[in-house]
Amino acid sequence: MINYSIFPLNINSHLLSVSLSFNAVANKQFTLSLPSWLPGSYMIRDFAKNIIEIDATTSNNSPFTFIKNDKQTWFITSTTDTTITINYTVFAFDLSVRTAYLDNQRGFFNGSSVFLQVEELAEQPCELEIKAPESIKDWKVATGLTRHSSTKKYEFGTYTAENYQELIDGPVAIGNFSCKEFVVEGVTHHAVFTSEHYGDLNRLADDLTKLCQHHISMFGEAPFKEYWFITHLLANGFGGLEHKNSTILQASRFDLPNPNKPDQLTDEYRTFLSLCSHEYFHAWNVCRIKPKEFVPYNLQQETHTTQLWAYEGITSYYDDFSLYRTGIISFDDYLKILSKTATRVFRGPGELKQSVADSSFDTWTKFYKQGPDAVNNIVSYYTKGSLIALWLDLTIREKSNGQYSLDNLMKELWIHFGRTNIGTSEDDFINIANVLCNADIRDEFTQMLHNAERVNLAPLFKNVGIEFTASKFSKLNSVETIKSDEYTPYIGALYSAAPLGLKVTQVVENSPAADAGLAVNDIIIAVNNMQATEKSLQNLAEHLPKNSKVTCHYFRDDQLIENPITFIDSPTSAISITETDAELSQKWRNVPSA
């Protein structure tokens, strides 16, 4: 047994005290290391940079050597058989879903950012003592880690893990949080919120129950005994990270349902439910069904795979589709969401330069470290991967005459790869799809994954009573679409409100914005000598004739730049997806039996 403990050492300085102890053999060198990245977030994060102080002792005071080898590893060797204890301090002030955070309101940590691994003992069972802060008496604990028999739910105390990988897969939140429990298929689920909110937790639990039931029913079983949705609520925030029996989420404080408006489904609440659906689906798809390159994980360096289109793309397909299937949103609303997804893929030329397989492989540098050229030169394996998942679903349904769907493919993957912890290859997806289709779709499927080209959804949609058409953008700063021949102004940039004007967030190449010299992070302060706001720019564009050229003033760093910009008619690089035949669309809307 490797014994760990963690304690809020200094809340106001954001310091966690961590220790671990293990039995060492005389003259055997042990390697201590902290991961460079954590599963689900594919970027080198160098968690060891937050270790402030570190030292070691032996139980019998025998001589030992303790040497730092590189940025994240240490070597320790004792001259006798003894118990070695490592004590260190971690700076915790990153309120993301990835690292660790501590202040006088709450605490949180992912094990990968705070617990050193003894590499030679990585498969040994672990015991973790989570200690309460001395100065605060009403804090509780929320974690998916297994509780020791002496520790009750929500209590500080002792938790266990079968090995180091399981230890770091159980993130922990501490604080005076609120929690709503609900049960699905005999599994207790916990919706935890680490800061103040005003949401209707009963309604949230009802909606989450529907989504969790959908996912469990699709895969045929829940692979966990309990599940934790742990959410950090901020003024503004969005994100999530999956774990085997929990997820860490980040959302805005008022994204939760309004208790005074029980029939209202805001875009913000719908997006939060989609996020919950996405991360919960990951409990099967990537936490257990995973690429062969991740079995086992090597968290010391980048691990490349071309399969993230499946693990994030298929999950992204189901996160919103399940909202429709469970009755939370209408089919028309789902098609509007799908239109936005397709538009995000089609609006820039990036998908014609990078395949989803390459996007998956290069995620470490090109997706997680996106530059200002992203919309023009890369494609998201999330969004385009979800379109490929949609293509695969419709293809399987068509070729099997409605007998099978993507649901069946996912269940087969679960049975043969998830339960057995055997990593997948690209061929595994193709082979299962071929069986379900009773046809060979390898060439078309492989080309779609490895070529930088459009996903041809229109013919498949037509067969199920859906129209997939190129359309215009309805507004300057939006991916909303409109099917119209009327003039719709366009400049080819997206932006957000900034103190001085509008901060540019995207510029499509060869667009009027690009021709005006605009670049990401520029601040537009005036157009046509009028102060630039989202409303004023839209109003100006709508009142000027087509192809009007006006003066644009913007700051780049501290330099004021003046260039002309032209409002042109919107290109048809947006996508509208609408239902044309309700009877035919049942072929897609209904879930076929296996």
Return the domain boundaries, the chain.
2-173, 177-264, 284-467, 489-569
Q: Please, are residues 134 and 44 in contact by the beta-carbon 8 Å criterion?
A: no
pLDDT of residue 593: 44
pLDDT of residue 589: 87
Amino acid occupying residue 418: G
pLDDT of residue 592: 53
Q: How confident is the model at residue 590 (pLDDT cuts 50, 70, 90)?
A: confident
What stretches of 417-518 adopt beta strand conformation (E)? 466-473, 481-482, 489-490, 493-498, 501-507
From 218, 576, 150, select the one nearest 393 (Cα to Cα).
Answer: 218
> Average pLDDT of 349-356?
97
pLDDT by residue (tens digit) across 196-231?
A: 999 999 999 999 999 999 999 999 999 999 999 999
pLDDT by residue (tens digit) across 90-108?
A: 999 999 999 999 999 999 9
User: Is 2.60.40.10 the CATH number for 489-569?
Assistant: no
What stretches of 11-139 adopt beta strand conformation (E)? 15-24, 29-33, 51-58, 64-68, 73-78, 82-91, 100-102, 106-109, 117-118, 126-130
pLDDT of residue 135: 85
Q: What is the mean pLDDT of the chain?
A: 96
> Average pLDDT of 412-435?
98
pLDDT of residue 591: 63
pLDDT of residue 493: 98
Q: Is the pLDDT of residue 555 over 70?
A: yes
> Average pLDDT of 531-546?
97
pLDDT of residue 577: 97
Reported as type and span, the H/E element at residue 282 is none
pLDDT of residue 43: 97
What's the CA gap between 591 and 110, in Å, rounded? 37
Give domain 2-173's CATH architecture: Sandwich (2.60)
pLDDT by residue (tens digit) across 293-304?
A: 999 999 999 999
Q: Which two tokens stand for residue 392?
A: 């695969």
Question: Could you tell me the pTM of the whole model?
Answer: 0.96
Give domain 177-264's CATH architecture: 2-Layer Sandwich (3.30)
Q: What is the DSSP string of 349-390?
A: GGGGTS-HHHHHHTIIIIITT--TTHHHH---TTHHHHHHHH
pLDDT of residue 594: 38
User: Is 2.40.50.140 the CATH number for 284-467?
Assistant: no
> Average pLDDT of 391-404?
96
Reported as type and span, the H/E element at residue 509 is none
